[in-house]
Chains A and B, each alone.
Chain A
Amino acid sequence: AQKVTQAQTEISVVEKEDVTLDCVYETRDTTYYLFWYKQPPSGELVFLIRRNSFDEQNEISGRYSWNFQKSTSSFNFTITASQVVDSAVYFCALSEASLDSNYQLIWGAGTKLIIKP
């Protein structure tokens, strides 16, 4: 069965610290997609990244970086030099590509990130 686990319910760090949000997934499919979304206090979910299962190359976008490791079924998200504006709930999600999955997004429970000034 497919599942996404974000074990960290809440993380609190001081501004400028680096922080890593963990995401562990379960799937039987060999083709799948992994996502990260950000939900700031305003409530609107913002798409951050999509990674397909055949691309294990890590990605960096400014202060954000993602570490995809199929061997451990993890897709962790690191924010370098965190800022107060990074405070939000972050969701990891999985989409399988098999015909009977309907490509539905399976969501983790989210990690609430608090950046203190």
Chain B
Amino acid sequence: GAGVSQSPSNKVTEKGKDVELRCDPISGHTALYWYRQRLGQGLEFLIYFQGNSAPDKSGLPSDRFSAERTGESVSTLTIQRTQQEDSAVYLCASSLVRGGALAKNIQYFGAGTRLSVL
């Protein structure tokens, strides 16, 4: 596609339910990132995928959070047993190549999924 696509754009769920957020990166982009942005705050790194390498999960806040990516395509971020503190906008970004002096390491972002946990 032309840009990074995220779905759903909005998700309202009840506390304790599981949610799944989807990200379609720009075609050909090998790197994919998930961020969380709480209201009025900056971006909080969650997880990163690069090709077939093991993902960098260092930003995941708890074991309720997990993410998968199949090859260099779609990624899903799953939050189990949601809590009210999980309410935030979840942003996905992709980049062509991660790292290197000539790397095109510019991240392009989707519009985000706004998650509200009641």
A50, A104, A110: which contacts B106 (Cβ < 8 A)?
A50
Interface residues of A (CB under 8 A from B): 31, 33, 35, 37, 42-47, 50, 91, 95, 97, 102-105, 107-110
In the assembly, what is the distance between CA of A42 and CA of B69, in Å?
Answer: 26
Residues in B with CB closer than 8 Å to A91 are 42-43
* A103-B99, A107-B42, A109-B41 known; A45 vs B91 contact (CB < 8 Å): yes
Contact B89 A103 (CB under 8 A): no
Q: Which residue of B lies closest to A4 (CB)?
A: B42
Interface residue SS majority, chain A: loop
- Asked if A47 and B106 sit within 8 Å, CB to CB, the answer is yes
Interface residue B65 (Cβ < 8 Å from any Cβ of A): no
Q: Which residue of A lies closest to B111 (CB)?
A: A44
**Complex alpha-carbon distance, A97 and B98, angstroms:** 10
The chain A residue with its CB closest to the CB of B91 is A45
- Chain B residues with CB under 8 A of A97: 99-101
Q: Are A31 and B101 touching (Cβ within 8 A)?
A: yes
| Bound Cα distance A91, B45 (Å) | 14
Q: A43 CA to B112 CA in the complex, in Å?
A: 7
Known: A43-B89, A102-B48, A107-B42. A95 touches B110 (CB 8 A): no
